[in-house]
Structure 1
Amino acid sequence: MDPIDMAVKVLSRDGLVVYPTETVYGLGADALSEDAVMRVYEAKNRPVSKPISVAVSDMDMLAAIAVVDEAARAFIERFLPGPVTVILPAKSCLPDILTGGTGLIGIRWPANEVAIAIIERLDAPITATSANISDDIPPVRPEEVSVPNDYVVDGGELPGTPSTVVDLTTRRILRKGVEWEAVQAFLETLQP
């Protein structure tokens, strides 16, 4: 069985998969399964009050789980897929636990063929949190993964610079990462 199919098989049974992105290794679970999402919190030793981002494979999947206005769509068309996490109002199809009670969801659309293939074959968003214990250094190689998981998809060594996190509801950068200067410049062009 190829690694993508194996990852999808694990995910479809509420398992946890470590997968490569264009930044660091992520810990993936079926984002539509509350049980699977709880396993991510437990594996990372992460407080449930802290939201967990999700990864999507295309604009249709993104729009199915979040409210996307014109400004957000313009931003997404400019920067995604890529190393940017966008924060948008979550739709009710997502488990509340993912939003940490904020009603907002962080979304990654990774520019990584392996990550996209896994999400497309599962046909559902997966969690997009780094594959490390909370507050530890995110892994850039499979052997650095410190969280319990059911399967690792080896994508070799990754760059390690985290994604830029931008709240599109307030048009503010919450974490400066890859391409943050370009993100800031674009945000300034959007009408309030």
Structure 2
Amino acid sequence: MTERLPPDPAGIEEAARLLRAGRLVALPTETVYGLAADATEARAVAAIYAAKRRPRFNPLIAHLPEPDAALALGIADARARALAATLWPGPLTLVLPAAPDCPVVPLARAGLVT
């Protein structure tokens, strides 16, 4: 079932609730609309691959609320940290080796070490 949520605090809270419940949510990003799920939930990640008919060798992008959250998932060198400090918030994608305790499910990373 498709449900359109209003772009207000109540709609955002409902979208967050749906994500926490393992559901998919379409949302705007800096450049395009994307399909979002909780990257730590295997079923939710698998649902994105199924909905988009995305090949499983093609990793997903993780959108995070703040630089510290992003940098906690990966091993960032000084150069990556400097870029994040300078350009975030904004359209910067960092591809980093995953931290040993990274909770993002392997399917979302498509078997890569990033």
Q: Percent same amino acid among aligned pairs?
A: 37
Q: SS at the partner of 2:34?
A: strand
- Compute the displacement of 1:84 (Å): 2.2
TM-aligned CA deviation for residue 63 of structure 1: 2.0
Matched residue count:
104
> Does the 8 A contact of 2:19 with 2:37 survive in 1?
yes
1:40-55 correspondence to structure 2 within 5 Å: 40-55=48-63
Structure 2 stretches lacking a partner, 5+ long? 1-8
Q: What is the RMSD of the two structures over their aligned residues, measured on CA atoms? A: 1.3
Q: Deviations over 1:20-55 (max 9, x none)?
A: 122111111011111111101001100111111100
Counterpart amino acid of 2:26? V
Does structure 1 residue 97 correspond to structure 2 residue 112?
no
Is the contact between residue 37 and residue 98 of structure 1 (CA under 8 Å) also seen in structure 2?
yes
| CA–CA distance in structure 2, aligned partners of residues 44 and 62 of structure 1 | 24
Contact map agreement 1:20 1:26 (CA 8 A) in 2: yes
Find runs of 4+ consecutive structure 1 residues off by over 3 angstroms.
none
1:35 corresponds to 2:43: yes
Whether the 8 Å CA contact 2:84–2:92 is kept in 1: the answer is no
Amino acid across the alignment from 1:65: L
Look up the match of 1:14.
22
The letter of the residue matching 2:13 is D
SS of structure 2 residue aligned to 1:85: coil
1:74 is paired with a residue whose SS is helix
Q: Note if contact 1:90-1:99 (Cα within 8 Å) is conserved in structure 2.
A: no
- 1:150-186 Cα offsets, whole Å, 9 max, x none, are xxxxxxxxxxxxxxxxxxxxxxxxxxxxxxxxxxxxx
**Could you state the TM-score of these two structures normalised by the residue count of structure 2?**
0.84
Match of 1:74 in 2: 82
Deviations 1:103-137 (A, max 9, x none): 11xxxxxxxxxxxxxxxxxxxxxxxxxxxxxxxxx
Equivalent position amino acid for 2:46 in 1: M
Residue 82 of structure 1 aligns to a residue in which SS? coil
Structure with larger RCO (C-alpha < 8 A, sep 6+)? 1
What is the one-letter code of the residue matched to 2:95? I
Asked whether the equivalents of residues 67 and 88 of structure 2 are also in contact (C-alpha less than 8 Å), the reply is no
| 1:71 counterpart letter in structure 2 | R
Report which of the two has the higher share of strand: 1
